[in-house]
Structure 1
Amino acid sequence: MKVMLRRNPSGTLLVYVAKKDLEEEVIAEAETEAGRVFTLANGWELVAPGLVEPLQLPQTIEMKRLA
């Protein structure tokens, strides 16, 4: 699914999923073989394969939902 990554004024990373009209804070990040995994405040886990550091925000990327 396509999601937009951005930072709020306090510096917290946010994920916005337009098709679900969902915006959640990222509470944890982890590197795996599949890519970078973002854990959202609502419990979702999204993986972003091939995400390049440093993040250029805001940006829209393709992510897969794990849980």
Structure 2
Amino acid sequence: MNEAIKQGLVGCFMGAIMSFLMNYFVLPLPTTVFGNALGNAMSGVLSGFMGGFMGILMFLRAKKRKK
């Protein structure tokens, strides 16, 4: 359980970085409501993917160490 929390935090941090970069550089402060919703959706998809992907990589790395 301790490893899962660590891995989740690393994935969360990576997802937050991806979301920040997406909102700051790709779709900064959209002028329309649709643009804002689209930016949040894209940011959520990419940060969720990055968080999940990093979590899986950390899990596989921790699993490999235990062998």
* More strand by percentage: 1
* More helix by percentage: 2
Specify which structure has the bigger relative contact order, considering alpha-carbon pairs within 8 angstroms and separated by 6 or more residues.
2
Name the larger-Rg structure: 2
